């Protein structure tokens, strides 16, 4: 690719003045930034200008393609199976990837799930799985392909070779207040997913207090933007817009989320976790051309569980080993009898993070046994003194700040009060 | 001053989301940036957010005060004279400081003119004066005060101790496309001028093709913002809004601008240069409490010239020495007879810069003899073959690109055609 030279200050000014950047300008910008020719402070001014002035669909597509071109791409065309993948924008108690990947793979498709670690109040799939003794996130390319062929499901760490421009740009956005810009979120997620080479992709785009984007309209716009990017790149893409005002399931943490996932794989588990897993599995299978199959049956008859066990074993894990237990727990009980009318996702996510389940900085470790187990969900009738939730940590000095986060996070009302869940779990499907 | 700690990302987000920053937040930001605790990329995102979302008058005042507090301030209270200063936002052929400082000082007030060097198409006062053999821009504090007391006028380089935060921030804005933001321009100019300790200040705020801000409305807003900042800081401040669509005077360069300034000091010179010098001198004297004096008389009877000579000699210069002459000149003549109806400031400034009179980077030298001498001004009747302007440089390979800049820069029309000067020279006075 021949790249014309531009003056980065001219490009910043153009976006600052609400002009549209050409494909050549965007290609040059991303290439020059990746090589270090455009400085971080120049890219920071550009991303703030993009945040405030936006980008057209064509610019977002060109930005996504330029980030893909900054690194390697994967190619699954040699596999005997079709590939189908899922991405969630992240939430509190969102362990859906764990039951979902083996469930979908149990229907004979390949699920190449490259996942990340958690940062802040949202958990990371790899952090959760690493609470399984022996399990390892890093696979060689050969191991990755071999496991996709034999087991069908792989959940592993993304290599740094995919869309390196995105890695550099995301780290910059994180410290410059430009994370929540739809063109930048969409191109960041989709550049990695398209570079991964999947032929189908389902997006779980969350809205609400525990989500990345609080506002449903913004989440809808993000979902539409990403579905369009996928379609432009030849990836069959759809999105579910899902509610993240309340924690998903009853477990928030790492080991406890694995435990809950295994319950779902055994045909049980909390109804919301099961429902979202099934809905996303149907979408993933449908985009891979598999319809009219009994998705729930695969949870109930052990097929999904068999694939889970094979997946964990293939990555060195022992699916029967005891999961780490916390050194200390503290139970919070109901102060009165009534109905639990509110349980806000964000403060529960922050509390689990403060207990040690999450990290503030990329390089920090997490505590696998830290987190929160909920004993009641909004709408449940509770009796004074009944346990509402249990906090777990290895460091009891963490309880105080976790409880602080939870002070106004839940409320017991009376029968007949409105249950504040912010609407149904799955609001809308976006895609063709 | 005790400074609360803030999270810079919170402050960037606040400005990004159109919130107002508190005085404590602004103080912390500027202090932390000056110390290197806030990174350049974070400040770049902040300045772009300020560019696009603006600042309230109170925020601009706090930003200005925070930049003043980042360094030293000067104090002229020990002087036996009142101080009065002038700042121009810069333009093509703007040598007004040269005749103005000695003219005003000849009335017994002190003019402590801390000036800069040129960058891009606008010239720098120090570059012009350095074409005088022996003259030096750098003075010790003691020399500066002594010259103010004895001669009254000093034009010297500003030390780096005044408002260092502004120096750092300006360099960042220059490479991140955030130069032309009114809150940032106003606080940059006024932080240095207030730190300099003058008790009165006249601002020459230019608009038009050769000015920093092209649009008269933006220039008016900048002037009003700066006058308010000066008044808030207890500095008697006013501004003249002046037209920079046409080069000022007949000389654009360095040595030739000194020559033209000396003509004005001798009672002659181009009428526009004389008129603007006199108007600014009246403002400066009036703010210093001196009214009903014969300003034009001081140009005509040699008083201003005496002060000029004393000022040049005090700084090591020889006012009688021959000024540098260019190695090569090229004369451009009228292609037809008619009336010169247009002469655009910006391309003439760019051409002079390309001839070597200006610099692209701070560290570059300038050619003292390079530049352009105009032989006709808009409205003048010209005859085919008559010289229109002369280009000068030490490096004849520079002629071609200079002439390129001038291709559409001037036009000969017919008697009765509109003369395109963009209106009168002095449009408006702003101040109480």
Any idea where the domains of chain A sit in the sequence? 85-159+194-321, 328-413
> CA-to-CA distance for B136 and A377, rounded, in angstroms?
79
Q: When comparing pLDDT for A302 and A361, which is higher?
A: A302
Instruction: For residue A263, count other CB atoms closer than 10 A to its CB.
Output: 18
For A14, the 3-state DSSP assignment is helix
pLDDT of residue A408: 93
pLDDT of residue A422: 85
How near does any CA of chain A get to the CA of B6, in Å?
A: 14
Q: Which helix (H) or strand (E) holds A166?
A: helix A164-176
How near does any CA of chain B get to the CA of A49, in Å?
A: 7
Low-confidence ranges of chain B (pLDDT < 70): 1-4, 119-120
Which among B9, B17, B43, B48 is the top mutation candidate for probing chain A, defined by the most A β-carbons within 10 Å of its own β-carbon? B48
Q: Which helix (H) or strand (E) holds B65?
A: helix B57-69
Question: CA angle B349-B353-B358, nearest 5°?
Answer: 115
pLDDT of residue A115: 87
Give B49's contacts in chain A (Cβ within 8 Å).
Answer: 48, 52, 177
Inspect the interface and report whether the beta carbons of B52 and A47 lie closer than 8 Å: no
Q: Which helix (H) or strand (E) holds A175?
A: helix A164-176
CA-nearest of B174, B149, B158, B150 to B125 is B158
pLDDT higher than 70, residue A3 = no
For A27, the 3-state DSSP assignment is helix
Task: Count Cβ neighbours within 10 Å for each residue of B274-287 and write b for 16 or more, e otherwise.
Answer: bebbbbbbbbbbbb
Q: Which residues of B touch A (CB under 8 A)?
A: 9, 12-13, 16, 39-45, 47-49, 51-53, 172, 175-178
> CA-to-CA distance for A104 and A203, rounded, in angstroms?
15
Q: Nearest chain B residue to A48 by CA: give it.
A: B45
Q: Nearest chain B residue to A16 by CA: give it.
A: B52
The predicted model gives A223-238 an average pLDDT of 96
pLDDT of residue B124: 87
Name the CATH topology of A328-413: Aldehyde Oxidoreductase; domain 3 (3.90.1170)
Inspect the interface and report whether the beta carbons of A176 and B41 lie closer than 8 Å: yes
Name the CATH topology of A85-159+194-321: Pyrimidine Nucleoside Phosphorylase; Chain A, domain 2 (3.40.1030)
For B334, the 3-state DSSP assignment is coil
Percent of chain A scoring above 90 in pLDDT: 88
- In chain B the first and final C-alpha atoms are separated, in Å, by 33
pLDDT of residue B232: 93
Which among A176, A179, A180, A182 is the top mutation candidate for probing chain B, defined by the most B β-carbons within 10 Å of its own β-carbon? A176
Helix extents (H) in A87-163: 97-105, 125-129, 141-150
**In which order are the strands placed within the sheet that holds A85-88?**
A85-88, A200-207, A236-243, A426-431
Q: Which residue from B16, B39, B52 is facing A177, i.e. has the nearest CB?
A: B16
Inspect the interface and report whether the beta carbons of B52 and A16 lie closer than 8 Å: yes
Instruction: For residue B365, count other CB atoms closer than 10 A to its CB.
Output: 8
Catalytic residues of B: 87, 166, 173, 188, 192
Inspect the interface and report whether the beta carbons of A44 and B49 lie closer than 8 Å: no
pLDDT higher than 80, residue A319 = yes
Q: Which residue from B9, B51, B175 is facing A16, i.e. has the nearest CB?
A: B51
What lies within 8 Å, CB to CB, of A212 at 6+ separation is A89, A90, A122, A180, A185, A206
Inspect the interface and report whether the beta carbons of A47 and B51 lie closer than 8 Å: no
**In which order are the strands placed within the sheet that holds B387-393?**
B251-253, B371-374, B387-393, B328-333
Q: Which residue from B44, B51, B52 is facing A44, i.e. has the nearest CB?
A: B44
Condensed to tens digits (0 to 9), the pLDDT of residues A356-396 reads 999 877 778 899 999 999 999 999 999 999 999 999 999 99
Which among B11, B19, B176 is the top mutation candidate for probing chain A, defined by the most A β-carbons within 10 Å of its own β-carbon? B176
Inspect the interface and report whether the beta carbons of A39 and B175 lie closer than 8 Å: yes
Condensed to tens digits (0 to 9), the pLDDT of residues A164-194 reads 999 899 889 989 999 989 999 999 999 999 9
Pairing between strand A236-243 and A200-207?
Answer: parallel
Task: Count Cβ neighbours within 10 Å for each residue of A370-405 and write b for 16 or more, e otherwise.
Answer: bbbbbbbbbebebeeeeebbbbbbbeeebbeebbeb
* Residue A61, token pair as written in the block: 């597509």
* Residue B11, token pair as written in the block: 């402050």
DSSP letter for A387, please. E
* Residue B315, token pair as written in the block: 């700084």
pLDDT higher than 80, residue A4 = no
CA-nearest of B238, B326, B247 to B283 is B238
Give A16's contacts in chain B (Cβ within 8 Å).
Answer: 48, 51-52, 177-178
pLDDT of residue B4: 56
Condensed to tens digits (0 to 9), the pLDDT of residues A6-34 reads 999 999 999 999 999 999 999 999 999 99
pLDDT of residue A2: 47
B400 sits in the region (left: phi over 0; alpha: psi -120 to 50; else beta) called alpha
> CA-to-CA distance for A194 and A68, rounded, in angstroms?
7
Q: Measure CA B10 to chain center.
A: 36
Mean pLDDT estimate for chain A: 94
CA-nearest of A252, A323, A308 to A90 is A252
């Amino acid at each position: 690719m021949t790249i014309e030279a531009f003056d980065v200050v001219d490009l910043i000014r153009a976006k600052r003045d609400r002009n549209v950047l050409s494909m050549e300008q965007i290609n040059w910008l991303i290439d020059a930034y990746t090589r270090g020719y455009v400085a971080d402070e120049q890219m920071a001014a550009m991303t703030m200008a993009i945040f405030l002035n936006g980008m057209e669909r064509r610019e977002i597509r060109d930005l996504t393609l330029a980030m893909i071109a900054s690194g390697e791409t994967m190619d699954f065309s040699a596999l005997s199976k079709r590939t189908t993948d899922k991405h969630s924008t992240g939430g509190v108690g969102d362990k859906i990837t764990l039951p979902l990947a083996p469930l979908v793979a149990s229907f004979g498709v390949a699920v190449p799930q490259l996942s990340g670690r958690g940062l802040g109040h949202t958990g990371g799939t790899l952090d959760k799985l690493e609470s399984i003794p022996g399990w390892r996130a890093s696979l060689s390319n050969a191991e990755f392909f071999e496991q996709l062929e034999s087991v069908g499901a792989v959940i592993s760490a993304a290599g740094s070779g995919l869309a390196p421009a995105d890695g550099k740009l995301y780290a910059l956005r994180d410290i410059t207040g430009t994370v929540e810009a739809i063109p930048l979120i969409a191109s960041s997620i989709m550049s990695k997913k398209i570079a991964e080479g999947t032929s189908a992709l389902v997006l779980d785009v969350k809205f609400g207090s525990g989500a990345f984007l609080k506002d449903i309209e913004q989440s809808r716009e993000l979902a539409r933007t990403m579905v369009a990017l996928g379609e432009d790149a030849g990836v069959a893409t759809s999105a579910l817009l899902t509610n993240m005002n309340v924690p998903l399931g009853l477990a928030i943490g790492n080991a406890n989320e694995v435990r809950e996932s295994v319950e779902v794989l055994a045909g049980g588990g909390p109804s919301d976790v099961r429902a979202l897993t099934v809905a996303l599995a149907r979408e993933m299978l449908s985009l891979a051309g598999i319809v009219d199959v009994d998705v729930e049956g695969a949870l109930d008859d052990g097929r999904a569980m068999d694939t889970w066990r094979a997946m964990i074993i293939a990555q060195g894990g022992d699916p029967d080993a005891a999961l780490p237990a916390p050194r200390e727990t503290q139970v919070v009980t109901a102060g009165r009898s009534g109905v639990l009318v509110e349980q806000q996702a964000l403060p529960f996510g922050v509390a689990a993070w403060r207990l040690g389940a999450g990290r503030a900085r990329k390089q920090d470790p997490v505590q696998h046994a830290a987190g929160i187990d909920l004993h009641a969900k909004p709408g449940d009738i509770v009796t004074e003194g009944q346990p509402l939730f249990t906090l777990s940590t290895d460091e009891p000095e963490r309880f105080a700040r976790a409880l602080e986060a939870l002070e106004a996070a839940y409320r017991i009302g009376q029968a007949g009060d409105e249950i504040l869940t912010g609407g149904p779990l799955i609001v809308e499907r976006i895609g063709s």
